[in-house]
Amino acid sequence: MKVTTTWIRQLPPSHTSKPTRRLFSTSSTRREIRDIQGLPTRILPKYQESRGSDLLSLQWPAPPRNILIVKKHSAPAVTESLIEFVNHLASTYPSLSIILEQKTSQEVHSSLPIPVYTSTPEKPLTASTHDKVDLVVTLGGDGTILRASSLFATSHDVPPMLSFSMGTLGFLGEWKFDEYKRAFREVYMSGSGVGDRAPVLDDPETTVAEEDVESKMGPTGWSSVRGKSMGSTRGARVLMRNRLRVGLFSPEGEAIIPPSHSSAVASGLPDPRVYALNEVLIHRGKEPHLAVLDVFVGGRFLTEAVADGMIISTPTGSTAYSLSSGGSIVHPLVPSLLLTPVCARSLSFRPLVLPSSTPVTLRLSPKNRGREVELSIDGRNMGQGMSAGMEVRVWDEEIRHGKNDWRGGVPCVMRRTIGVSDDGWVGGLNSLLKFNHPFGADS
């Protein structure tokens, strides 16, 4: 078989550049993998508040250009769906640039009709996506969504996230994959009817003035997909899921950067805190003895907890590890955080639901018999254990800064259901947890 070389380029497809580095080899059908740093800077959307609904309306100031797709690993059926999805984007939205994780790009790029973008080994995707990605699409289960969110664990502004449920659990995945054409169209066109763009989209007979407006939008204008608008007043609905800000500190009060995020902070991010969508977990790990933790709530000492571990969870994470440990189920729009012990020695220590503005500190007590305990965020081990005197400090992430001024959080695109005005949480609770389901009834 003839082998040709694929190059990483530093500029988008519309530019020319000398090849800078050989990274991959492919078969005789040439497909390029390019450096994500060659893409234009991301477009920041706005989130419009709407009457009669707690959900927000996504408003793009210009069409999104750079799409990051994160798929479930080791799932051939999902890989086939990814290829189908990218083929659709390439034919219907030719101005888009597709970004993939490095492992995924090597797996599928030779089967795609367009070049794909990814990171380099020297600069991981987590450190290079923050100012490049306009929209995130996930193909998989809740774990895939958490992995996609973790790519922005050191970024305050997370792109909108469109999730297709293709995994074991589907608490967070809103859309079925067979709806991908409608779902992506709704997200891509959201905000397209604002201001001067409304006539271009809604009226098939454009005037000279309207054509001038369209020409100024460049090749990525919404007019390239005229007829696909969802309507000037039907923006994609977004549920803004809040996160936790997590900081690890030494006994002397100095911030410690976990090894798992050192590359991101070294890239110029001034804040060593990490954001968590689901939960923060302190666990005794392989140590045979229970962990001894001093718990502070709002700066005041609450209790000395002796347990396998402690979970601080967001409402989004209330249906994950916290639920399995006996924690409450909390609606994602309730501004709160949950403090849940894992197998506490004292039966009187019950899970707590606290206001989101309440800071929580967990300090490993000198009484702890094991050498250290493990720290993980959203199921990802931080690579930095906690020894006696070290603290984990947790704050809520402020996401609303004024009317129609939403920054932070994870904007999740919700599925629009005809005749149903709720956010889908109630239906998901019933279908996934079989809430109040009779014993012995058919599933």
Q: What residues make up the domain containing 140?
A: 36-191+235-239
Where is the domain boundary, 359, 378, 396? Answer: 396
Question: Tens of pLDDT along 104-143?
Answer: 999 999 999 999 999 887 778 887 888 999 999 999 999 9
Q: How confident is the model at residue 5 (pLDDT cuts 50, 70, 90)?
A: very low
- Same domain membership, residue 55 and residue 158: yes
Tell me the two tokens of residue 94.
């030719």
Q: Which residue has the higher pLDDT, 26 or 79?
A: 79
Q: Does residue 311 form part of some domain?
A: yes
- Same domain membership, residue 273 and residue 380: yes
- Same domain membership, residue 378 and residue 293: yes
What domain count does the chain have?
A: 2
- Same domain membership, residue 302 and residue 183: no
Own/partner long-range contacts of 315-318 (Cβ < 8 Å, ≥24 apart): 315/241, 315/242, 316/172, 316/241, 316/242, 316/277, 316/278, 316/410, 317/276, 317/277, 317/278, 317/279, 317/378
Q: What is the pLDDT of residue 132?
A: 95
Where is the domain boundary, 220, 239, 258? Answer: 239
Percent of the chain beyond pLDDT 70? 77
Q: What is the pLDDT of residue 235?
A: 83
Question: Which CATH number do you get for residue 349?
Answer: 2.60.200.30
- Same domain membership, residue 310 and residue 174: no
Q: How confident is the model at residue 368 (pLDDT cuts 50, 70, 90)?
A: very high
Q: How confident is the model at residue 221 (pLDDT cuts 50, 70, 90)?
A: low
Q: What is the pLDDT of residue 197?
A: 41
Nearest to 284 by CA among 305, 307, 263: 307
Residue ranges with strand state E in 298-371: 300-307, 309-313, 336-342, 352-355, 360-364
Q: pTM value?
A: 0.83
Question: Tens of pLDDT along 241-287?
Answer: 999 999 999 999 999 887 766 655 555 444 567 999 999 999 999 88
Percent of the chain beyond pLDDT 90? 59
- Same domain membership, residue 168 and residue 264: no
> Could you tell me the sign of the dihedral formed by the alpha carbons of 213, 216, 32, 154, in that order?
negative
Q: Angle between the 76-92 and 180-188 helix axes, to the nearest 10 degrees?
A: 50
Tell me the two tokens of residue 233.
């007043």
The average pLDDT across 347-375 equals 94
Give the total residue count for the chain: 443
Q: What is the pLDDT of residue 281?
A: 97
Q: Does residue 362 form part of some domain?
A: yes
Q: Does residue 7 form part of some domain?
A: no
Q: How confident is the model at residue 19 (pLDDT cuts 50, 70, 90)?
A: very low
Contact 231, 370 (CB under 8 A): no
Tell me the two tokens of residue 46.
């706005």
With a cut of 90, say whether residue 36 has pLDDT above it: yes
Question: Tens of pLDDT along 296-309?
Answer: 999 999 999 999 99
Q: Does residue 174 form part of some domain?
A: yes
Q: Does residue 116 form part of some domain?
A: yes
Mean pLDDT of the chain: 82
With a cut of 50, say whether residue 212 has pLDDT above it: no
- Same domain membership, residue 267 and residue 151: no
CA–CA distance, 270 with 264 (Å, rounded to integer): 10
Q: What is the pLDDT of residue 437?
A: 75
Q: What is the pLDDT of residue 72?
A: 95
Q: Which residue has the higher pLDDT, 106 or 199?
A: 106
Tell me the two tokens of residue 223.
């007019």
- Same domain membership, residue 185 and residue 44: yes
Tell me the two tokens of residue 156.
């305050």
Q: Does residue 148 form part of some domain?
A: yes
Q: Does residue 157 form part of some domain?
A: yes
75-84, 170-179, 261-270: range with highest mean pLDDT: 75-84
Q: Does residue 423 form part of some domain?
A: no
Q: Which residues of 282-303 are buried (b: 16+ CB within 10 A; e: fewer)?
A: bbbbebeebbbbbbbeeeeeee
Relative to beta strand 66-71, strand 135-140 is parallel
- Same domain membership, residue 254 and residue 136: no
Question: Which CATH number do you get for residue 79?
Answer: 3.40.50.10330
- Same domain membership, residue 248 and residue 184: no
- Same domain membership, residue 264 and residue 183: no
2-6, 125-129, 168-172, 437-441: range with highest mean pLDDT: 125-129
With a cut of 50, say whether residue 204 has pLDDT above it: no
- Same domain membership, residue 272 and residue 181: no
Q: What is the pLDDT of residue 196?
A: 36
17-21, 160-164, 258-262: range with highest mean pLDDT: 160-164
**Cα angle at 193 between 39 and 239, to 5 degrees?**
70
